[in-house]
Copies of this chain bind each other. A is one copy, B any other.
């Protein structure tokens, strides 16, 4: 099993017990290798939630490819056990909708909700073609001429544990933050794949859209950028190979910014796009 599939593994429905609403809870184990600072990466949580919702809908006869997903983050997740509780809201002819909650037990307390999600599902093959228009992919140097995130400062790699799970190559034009010289354009571009060779699919896209370093790094804001709300759209099944990612932000005010992400596959197809509202601590002028 690949590292990512291990991170989003779920117990069989019912083994996690019954949630208050009578829905079947599933259990997961969030591995330490997916930490960013002291918290589990939000993309892993979103992939877990999407997976649980998809499987609950499939069991109810609904189309089970994720088309749009939303997460509102309630508290920081820790490494260790978690429960994932999906709830089917509607099974439709072409689209179905579900909700999911992820909880963990805080020491000496009862279950604390980490993230609440909603998502809409369908048969992606029926919603991918034909392509009328799409954003062209950014022109990037090939991966071996980009800056590998694994060449970053040792301190960064020890704090951002997920960087060891990924092969991220940043366009040198947007990698200046690593040398204390961010472009200040509010953009990061580069390549991404799993370090163990796992190919991209519909389960990994909700993770990939949140896997790059924060775009705020390119504005000289090197701190953690906690996600408040995250929404992604999945537009096509990714082909095997490297994915290209572009992150941008244009509205930074009051300690908040939006971060937009577009993901292209190896055939130049837009496979996902997302926007999040995140906290940002801008450096003093």
Contact = CB atoms under 8 A, between A and B. Distances in A.
Given A74-B90, A134-B250, 12 more contacts: A67-B277, A72-B119, A74-B89, A90-B113, A127-B253, A129-B253, A130-B253, A132-B282, A133-B252, A134-B252, A231-B231, A258-B273
A110 to B, nearest CB: 14
Given A113-B90, A256-B235, A250 B74 contact: no
20 contacts: A21-B21, A72-B89, A72-B119, A74-B89, A89-B113, A95-B228, A99-B116, A120-B228, A127-B254, A127-B255, A127-B256, A129-B254, A130-B253, A132-B282, A133-B186, A133-B219, A134-B252, A135-B250, A235-B253, A236-B254
Interface in A231-285: 231, 233, 235-236, 249-256, 258, 270, 273, 275, 277, 282
A116 B74 CA distance: 18
Nearest to A95: B228
A252 to B, nearest CB: 4
A27 interface: no
Contacts of A70: 70, 72, 118, 229, 231
- Chain A binding site: helix, strand, loop or mixed by DSSP? strand
Contacts of A72: 68, 70, 89, 97, 118-120
Copies of this chain, tallied across the complex: 2
A88 to B, nearest CB: 11
A67 B219 CA distance: 22
Interface in A103-119: 113, 116, 118-119
A68 B126 CA distance: 30
Ranked nearest first, the 8 interchain pairs of A and B with the lowest CB-CB distance are A68-B229, A127-B254, A132-B252, A131-B253, A70-B70, A231-B231, A128-B254, A74-B90
Contacts of A15: none
Interface string A168-203: 000000000000000000100000000000000000
A249 B132 CA distance: 11
A275 B228 contact: no
Interface residues of A, number: 49
A186 B135 CA distance: 12
